Amino acid sequence: MSQKISPPDKPLTDRIRPEHAPFDVAEYERAGGYQALRRALRTMAPQEVVALVKDANLRGRGGAGFPTGVKWGLVPHGPDAPKHKYLIANGDEMEPGTFKDRLLLEGDPHQFIEAMIVAAYAIQADVGYLFLRGEYHLAAQRVQRAIEEARGRGYLGRNIKGSGFDFELHLHTSAGRYICGEETALISALEGKRAVPRAKPPFPTVAGLFGRPTVVNNVETLCNVPHIVNYGADWYRGLSRTENGGTKLYGVSGRVCHPGAWELPMGSSAREIIDEHAGGMRAGLRLRGFLPGGASTDFLTAAQLDVAMDYDAVAKAGSRMGTGTIIVLDDQTSVVAMVRNLEHFFAQESCGWCTPCRDGIPWAEKVLDDLVYGRGRPGDLELLEQQTRLLGPGRTFCAHAPGAMEPLQSALQHWRGDFEAGIAPAAAAPAIAGPATPEAPRPLSEVLETTPMGPVGEGGR
């Protein structure tokens, strides 16, 4: 490299200037951009890039946390490997409460494109797609322009920078369904079909898009790759406070003083993220619980704020880090109504392919609706608990329904009294009329005050 660049401690967001246009290709190059691509093409064999990413312990940032280098290693390599392979960036960011990939795509589109080319080189993919959700109009516009600039500079197309490596990148904007974020459903969507998940095996790394070997990686995951190539696996692991490598884009939404997103060392505690970066709760509000990584993660309570936000520690605490974007539940908001809102989302976004998910989540939503309005009947809580088991892992075709059950089962566990308070007084059996947890149920009048104005219609679709 001609110029010496000191390794950044916030590599993903180093070049992002909030409220400004992103770097164009020339500015990006001046800031050290496309150096990782040159280095990989000139000095590394594809398998060496795979080994480096494995060594860095980069784990998928889309929610599941699967080791990226391992996934790449599952793709057939070598002279007998299929000629066509695909790389897909999952930019279908629709997990409620999640707003990190938008930031990366709008703020530094060339970082994303360079990452795609390096990753494609590692798995020897000849075509790539960014699967972007349809509502991200600004991101689409900026990425499309950056693709054209990169093509103009010879970073995309045939024989990239004289290396003999060919790679073409296309933008696909979706038409809106949460299930598209599931990698096999995403592949169905990209083939122009309903976004219905597929049975695994075969895994996409062997038979994915159009039946060819395919890697699907989250946008944030990919954006780490050029930096790992530039500064090495040791540096990358050193950014983290825990075993999981790198930094993480964390976010906080809900009634805190300064909602936002920040790139921090992997393993920063939830307390630090909420109190220091998001400025703590708004005046007069107390934190009651939080969803650590989006709508499909189990609630953690105020007593668990010191959990290190990485894949292993959050799992140990009884939830999932998911996307790392925290949603805060305050003490003035009805937890029953919040869970009802979450289940409405999951019910609407079920693809309808398998019966437990298609019929079970709307049923849970209906029961929650009754509890929100004080119309609950004895047995409703037991019914909800049964649903969390019947829709749990292994009972449905994909992870949609189990994800939907996570906030419900944990809320029932932590704040059972709140749910009991929604059972109509006349109908309540004496045995379950009182609070079952140390936390007193909130009066019904208070619950109703914080609920929405009624069920939301299906819209004119």
Partner 1 sequence: MLSEQEQREIAAERAHYEQPQAAAIEALKIVQAHRGWVSDEAVADIAAALDTSTAAIDAVATFYNLIYRQPVGRHVIHVCDSVSCWLMGQPRLLELLRAELGIDLGQTTPDGRFTLLPTVCLGTCDRAPAMLVGRDTHRDLEGVDAQRLATLLAAYE
**Could you tell me which stretch among 1-9, 13-21, 59-67, 176-184 binds partner 1 (CB under 8 A)?**
176-184
377 binds partner 1 (CB under 8 A): no
Q: Could you tell me the smallest distance in angstroms from the CB atom of residue 186 to partner 1?
A: 12
Asked whether 288 and 277 are in contact (CB, 8 A), the reply is no
In order of 94, 295, 366, 448, 453, the CA distances from 424 in angstroms are 35, 28, 15, 13, 19
Indicate the residue type of 418.
D
In order of 191, 368, 416, 427, the CA distances from 433 in angstroms are 53, 17, 12, 10
**Could you tell me which stretch among 9-17, 46-54, 197-205, 333-341 binds partner 1 (CB under 8 A)?**
333-341
348 binds partner 1 (CB under 8 A): yes
16 CB contacts (<8 Å, ≥6 apart)? 22, 103, 104, 107, 108
DSSP 443: P
Interface of this chain with partner 1, residues 378 to 417, rule: CB under 8 A: none
Interface pick for partner 1 out of 96, 293, 376, 422 (rule CB under 8 A): 96
Question: Would you call 46 helix, strand, or coil by DSSP?
Answer: helix
Complete edge-to-edge strand list for the sheet that includes strand 214-218: 168-173, 127-132, 86-91, 214-218
Interface of this chain with partner 1, residues 239 to 298, rule: CB under 8 A: 251-255, 259-261, 291, 295
**Could you tell me which stretch among 57-65, 117-125, 223-231, 343-351 binds partner 1 (CB under 8 A)?**
343-351
Q: Could you tell me the smallest distance in angstroms from the CB atom of residue 253 to partner 1?
A: 4
Interface of this chain with partner 1, residues 195 to 214, rule: CB under 8 A: 195, 210
177 binds partner 1 (CB under 8 A): yes
- Considering the complex, state which of residue 37 and residue 335 has its C-beta at the smaller distance from partner 1: 335
Q: Which of 121, 144, 120, 140 is nearest to 132 (CA)?
A: 140
Task: Tell me the CA end-to-end span of the chain in Å, nearest whole number.
Answer: 54
- Considering the complex, state which of residue 216 and residue 233 has its C-beta at the smaller distance from partner 1: 216
175 binds partner 1 (CB under 8 A): yes
**Could you tell me which stretch among 127-135, 381-389, 409-417, 421-429 binds partner 1 (CB under 8 A)?**
127-135
Per-residue contact flags (x/-) with partner 1 for residues 419 to 458, judged by CB under 8 A: --------------------------------xxx--xxx
CA angle 200, 117, 69 (to 5 degrees): 45
**Could you tell me which stretch among 35-43, 171-179, 386-394, 415-423 binds partner 1 (CB under 8 A)?**
171-179
104 binds partner 1 (CB under 8 A): no
- Considering the complex, state which of residue 28 and residue 178 has its C-beta at the smaller distance from partner 1: 178
Q: Could you tell me the smallest distance in angstroms from the CB atom of residue 260 to partner 1?
A: 5
Biggest CA–CA distance in the chain, Å, is 79
Q: Which of 146, 202, 179 is nearest to 347 (CA)?
A: 179
In order of 218, 267, 311, 389, 403, the CA distances from 66 in angstroms are 11, 16, 10, 25, 17
> Contact residues for partner 1 (CB under 8 A)?
84, 93-99, 101-102, 129, 133-138, 170, 172-178, 189-195, 210, 251-255, 259-261, 291, 295, 325, 327-330, 333, 338, 341-342, 344-345, 348-349, 351, 451-453, 456-461
